[in-house]
Chain A
C-alpha cells in the first residue's frame, strides 16, 4: 500500500452474495455494478455474475460478484460456491427477522469452510422502508440492533443499505475491498513469515501498515453508518 512502485499492482477478489429470495440482493448488485434500479431492468440479461473494476490505494482491483441461489433446497451447495472466495456479502431484509436468522447459518458455514480467509459483511438492505424518523434517529430498529451485535460477535462488519434510494452501497463495497486488501496482505505476510525462519524488517513494516489503517477507518466508518440508518 505504501510502496513506491510506479506500476499499479493488481488484485482480483471473489465475493459471494448470499441472501434469501426477497431481500433484494440482485437489486443491490445491479445498483452497484451498473447503477440501475428500476422496477423492470431492461437490457440486462443476467444479474448473477457481475464484475466491477476500480483503482484503490494504488491497486487495480477487480471484484467478481457471484450471486448464489438462496432457496432452502440449495442450502447444501454453499461450500461449492464459497471455494476461493475473498469476501461474502450476507444480505438480510431489515423488516424480516427470518432473513437475519438465515444469515447467521451462512456465517457459521462460511467460517467453517473458509476460516478467517474470508471477510464477512452483513448487510441490512431496504433502509428506505424505515420511517423518516427512524432513518434520522439512527439504528432504532430491533432487527438492525440485533444484526449489529451479532456481526461484532462473529468478527463480521455490519452495513445498512438501500438499493432503491442508492444509499450506502458504494461505501459498502469500498470498505469491503479495503478490508479484503488488508486481509490479503496479512495472509501474504503470514505465509512469508512461515516460509522464512526470521522475518526481515521491511516485512514487519508492511505488516503493521497493512493492519493499522483499516481498524481506524472501520471505527470511523461504523459511526458514520450508524448515523445513516
Chain B
C-alpha cells in the first residue's frame, strides 16, 4: 500500500513537472508565436511605425533634458549604458512573455546600478523612470509597442499588476507612453526648439559631444585621449620633479662645503 502511494506521488510529481515544461515553455505557443506576433504587429501597424519614427527623431535627447543624474563620461557608467541597451533589445528576440519580462528586469537592474555609480543612495522612481526613458530612446528597440501588447495579452494579469516584475513592466509602459506624448515642455525646452530638433533642422548644444560617447570608435578615441592627457600630466610632473632633483644635486657640493667649513670653524674654536 505504502509503495503504491509512493509510486502515485512520484507519478503526480512527474505529471506536474512535464505539465510545467509544457505550460511554461510551451512548444505550441512557440509554434504559434510567429503567427500571433505578426497579427499583433498588423493590428497597430500605424501606431508602431509612428512610435519608431518618434524615437528615431528623438535620438538627440540628452541626460540634461530629462534631468537624469548620470555622467556619461564616467567609464563605469558608459559600460553600464552599453550593457543596459542590448538587454532591453533582447526582449524582441525572446518568444515567451516570461522571458521577455526577464529582459526588462535585467535592464532595470542595470539601470539601478548605473544610477548608483555616482551616489550610494538607493534609487527612487524619480530617478529610475527618466533613466529608463533615456535607455528606451537610445535603444530604439524593434517593435516595442507589439512586444508590450504581446506581454499584456499572454501573461497572467496578476503577474503584470503586482510583484517586482509587474513594477518594472509598468515602468516600461510608462516610459513608452511618455515617449509617445513627449513635448518640448516635458524636455525643459520651448516648443519651437523642440520642433526644430525633432525635424532635424537644428541640434541642441552639446549633441555632438554626447553622440561621440555613444559611438564605439569615438568612445575608444576619447578614452585614449584621456589616457594620453593623463600621461602628459604625469610627464610634466615628472619633469618638474627631475629639474628639482637636478637643482638639489647642483646645490649639494656647495652646501656640503659650507657645512664642512662651519664644522671646521667650530672645531678650531673648541681646540
Contacts and interface: CB of A to CB of B under 8 A. Distances in A.
Given A25-B124, A67-B124, A74-B174, A45 B112 contact: yes
Interface in A64-117: 64, 66-71, 73-74, 76-77, 80-81, 83-84
Interface in A11-42: 12, 14, 17, 21, 25-26, 30, 40-42
A80 B161 contact: no
B181 A71 contact: no
Contacts of B124: 25-26, 47-48, 67
Nearest to A47: B122
A77 B174 contact: yes
B112 A42 contact: no
* Category for how many chain A residues contact B: 20 to 34
Interface stretch (B55-63, B113-121, B234-242): B113-121
Nearest to B185: A73
Contact of B120 (A25, A42, A74): A42
Contacts, number: 85
Contact of B162 (A12, A42, A45): A12
Interface of A: 12, 14, 17, 21, 25-26, 30, 40-42, 44-49, 51, 64, 66-71, 73-74, 76-77, 80-81, 83-84
30 contacts: A12-B162, A14-B161, A26-B122, A26-B124, A26-B126, A40-B120, A45-B113, A47-B123, A47-B124, A48-B125, A49-B164, A49-B167, A67-B124, A69-B129, A69-B174, A70-B126, A71-B67, A71-B126, A71-B130, A73-B178, A73-B185, A74-B129, A74-B174, A74-B178, A76-B177, A76-B181, A77-B174, A80-B170, A80-B174, A80-B177
